[in-house]
Structure 1
């Protein structure tokens, strides 16, 4: 133990007071990084300061900040402000006046002033105070070697969402954060708050037995412009999605048909096209369909529009979770919400497997035909069914031509078609996916200057 005569500076006292003065953004004090900073400030403003404890708390804060993926305290705090869920951001996402709005907005302004003070607090302030009290001590060199966090305001290079870039730049370019309230109001009004403003895609997962949304940082980047063929099929899904986003009546959609025809890619590309207009997607594994009522309860009071995406949907004859899906599709009292649609893909038109044994008349069930009709009618409960069929030879080669042109592969068309036909015969048959796989192979050979060797012994 080594007690030091640490004289608390105005900057340290001011930063601690600023944190204590937060009201609307009170949740930030529970954050592990900001909470760690508060513990450090609270300790060094105490009556007795021990060098060992100070060193431990200082470096614990630095570690947690670095562990967050940023060494800039200002960047970290701005990020927390933008995505915090609080009485202001939750109410503001609906762009409607609410009781006590003026008082809450004034409290937000005060919070932003205080958070700006904290964001620009430097580790050098504590180090200088310790060094002065250790003027004639060897420990001074240890203190001077403490790492320092960055206070520069820089946008992370991997920040690719334009509307998130824009709101963060408002803070980085402002000397008075309280003047950013209107920018925050517009941000929450247009894009919501919390994780649903931060991510466009989520997976519904079970963690410790409890279902929850898990944000996907890097969803499949596929774009509609990259998809070739099936224009009419895709236009039906796009039109329904636009109606949904505009608040008009719209339908749940089942995309079914042959494998590799772009059903899943269509749904993912639609998200990438329209997420800036408030569209979000929840990928729901078939095993968790029974959680649908809980998912709806969590989403129905949000301002965004949600597509619940179920990929490769099919039920076995002994699976009863299809009754949950049927109930949701029928729109019961709890399952009806104007901001949620279901988009499902399947290789089957009939989503519940049927066997010849189902037709046997000696079944124990009295009303066999009713049971069979219940299974067959599940697909009919989707308002829109879109069929994606395997392309014929002409359509397959048109997809190959389009992909080759897009990737600027310079090759004689006769050779291109010949090799593409070989590929589909030897591998997975004609489909959009097969065409992409062939072009991937061809592009790799062209890039390294290899001769075409698509021949089998």
Structure 2
């Protein structure tokens, strides 16, 4: 397989120059998909190309694109533009543009037009050019089998919020992306930029020894309409959340009570209801409470409202994270931010485990114990009181349990005789986890699957 002298066409030369001309969106050049495309174009621009290298670099580029979940280069680049965090998008988010910074806006507009050219490269033409130059090669048929990218005219409305979908459509149907700069600026002013626009839910985790936000691609889709019963308890949390989103005073919330009653599901459903209004959620594992100040430093400058979600909270005696949470709730200067609240769930009202000897029951002869033990007990019991709102979810009685079963069955349009449904539901809760909203949902999952399996057999 010999090298072939490839006469580089205008389209490929212009595409390569367009990539090099990018300034404000230059971070995109480090993206693995764009890097793969750059390597492919640079190979062709060398003039002498080897068929093996062409095939390898094209397929590496194609693999990276589909690996990211895309089959259209245009769709991918539009998303990268919308969710990019750069001097233009940050300036728009902070509404800090002045006459000097208008040069940034102008440069960003030029970048958009360069990116439009890249996004709409005609790979069918490039493939045909390669076929023409390799027409006498014995392995030409491999070029013919190179996978095709999706037609850029095929616009699919994915599961994006309306404000994102509308901006994507603006780009897709525009013949000059630089004219979209005003819409893009308004978008960043209203909704922010970067990962906090792309994702609604995050988890704080350690990667290579450093704490950072990780966006959750597919958060739990549960909605408020999926939750049955506990309307009064849920309404307290919803009202507090709405106050928070409107910029009014709001409280940290502790949701405690029996297991399986829907405490965590309530918090997740509230996020799904209000994320289009700027609500975001960061799940913070208890072990990383000490990082709260670091998290606040990042979030306090953003336009969104954030709920720090601490699930299944309970402390062992003498845990350092207990002291960290106490400091957070007391609101030191470093832990204060108008756009951050804490929502925590726990199966216990008293978040720190307490022992009989602390209450003076079975007094211990251990002289090393604290003299004023009662003060320690009160200190432990007062942690929950530092949350402004406490909401209790208790296990349902028989009637409420069956009400939850009926509600979930109705939501799923199950056509099962009510007497049979109740009889089986009561057997299920005796056999398994007792009465709770979670048990009711697990029972409905089972009986729905059972019914569908029987229908399938028929």
TM above 0.5: yes
Partners of 1:234 and 1:346 lie apart in 2 by 15
Asked if structure 2 preserves the Cα contact closer than 8 Å seen for 1:315 and 1:352, the reply is yes
Shift of 1:95: 4.6
- How big is the shift at 1:184? 1.6
Cα 1:107–1:371 change in 2 (3 A) is: same
Give the corresponding residue for 1:297. Answer: 297
Q: Distance in 1 between matches of 2:61 and 2:250?
A: 50
Query: Hey, what's the Cα distance between the residues in 1 that align with 2:452 and 2:124?
Result: 52
Matched, 1:383 2:381: no
Give the aligned CA root-mean-square deviation in angstroms: 2.5
The count of corresponding residues between Structure 1 and Structure 2 is 450
Which residue pairs with 2:170 in the alignment? 170
Per-residue displacement from partner, 1:352-404 (whole Å, max 9, x unpaired)? 00111334464433442332222221111111111111223332333233233
Q: Which residue of 2 aligns with 1:325?
A: 325
| 2:446 is aligned with 1:441 | yes
- 1:228 is matched with 228
The residue aligned with 1:110 is 110
Asked whether 1:314 is paired with 2:319, we answer: no
Change in CA separation of 1:385 and 1:22 when aligned onto 2, cut-off 3 Å: same
CA contact (8 A) 1:279 1:307 kept: yes
What is aligned with 1:421?
A: 426
Going from structure 1 to structure 2, the CA distance change for 1:140 and 1:427 (only over 3 Å counts) comes to: closer
* 2:166 counterpart of 1:205: no
- Further displaced range: 177-186 or 432-441: 432-441
Residue aligned with 2:333, SS:
coil
- Check if 1:368 corresponds to 2:370: no
Higher deviation after alignment, 169-178 or 252-261: 169-178
Post-superposition CA distance 1:421-441 (Å, at most 9, x none): 343334322222222233333
| TM-score with structure 1 setting the length | 0.90
How does the TM-score come out when normalised to structure 2?
0.90
Distance 1:254 1:202 in 2: 20
The one-character-per-residue Cα deviations of 1:48-77 (angstroms, maximum 9, x if unpaired) are 545544444333323322333323211221
Q: 1:404 aligns with which of 397, 401, 409?
A: 409
C-alpha distance in 1 between matches for 2:96 and 2:147: 46
- Counterparts of 1:146 and 1:103, CA distance in 2: 42
Gap change, CA 1:440 and 1:39, over 3 Å in 2: closer
How far the C-alpha of 1:269 sits from its partner, in A, is 0.6
Residue pair 2:300, 2:339 contacting (<8 A) in 1 also: yes
| C-alpha deviation, 1:205, in angstroms | 1.3
Q: Which moved further from structure 2: 433-442 or 20-29?
A: 433-442
| Rounded Cα–Cα distance in structure 2 between residues aligned with 1:145 and 1:439 | 48
Greater alpha carbon shift after TM alignment, 4-13 vs 232-241: 4-13
SS at match of 1:334: helix
Task: State the 1:137 CA deviation.
Answer: 4.8
Matches within 5 A, 1:129-278: 129-134=129-134, 136-138=136-138, 140-155=140-155, 159-278=159-278
Task: Identify if the C-alpha distance between structure 1 residues 392 and 24 changes in structure 2 by more than 3 Å, giving closer, same or farther.
Answer: same
Moved more, 103-112 or 334-343: 103-112
Give ranges in structure 1 of 5+ residues lacking alignment: 451-457
Moved more, 87-96 or 220-229: 87-96
SS of equivalent residue, structure 2 residue 335 = coil
Q: Which moved more, 1:16-25 or 1:95-104?
A: 95-104
Partner of 1:73: 73
| Partners of 2:7 and 2:47 within 8 A in 1 | no
Instruction: Give, in whole Å, the separation in 2 of the partners of 1:434 and 1:142.
Output: 56
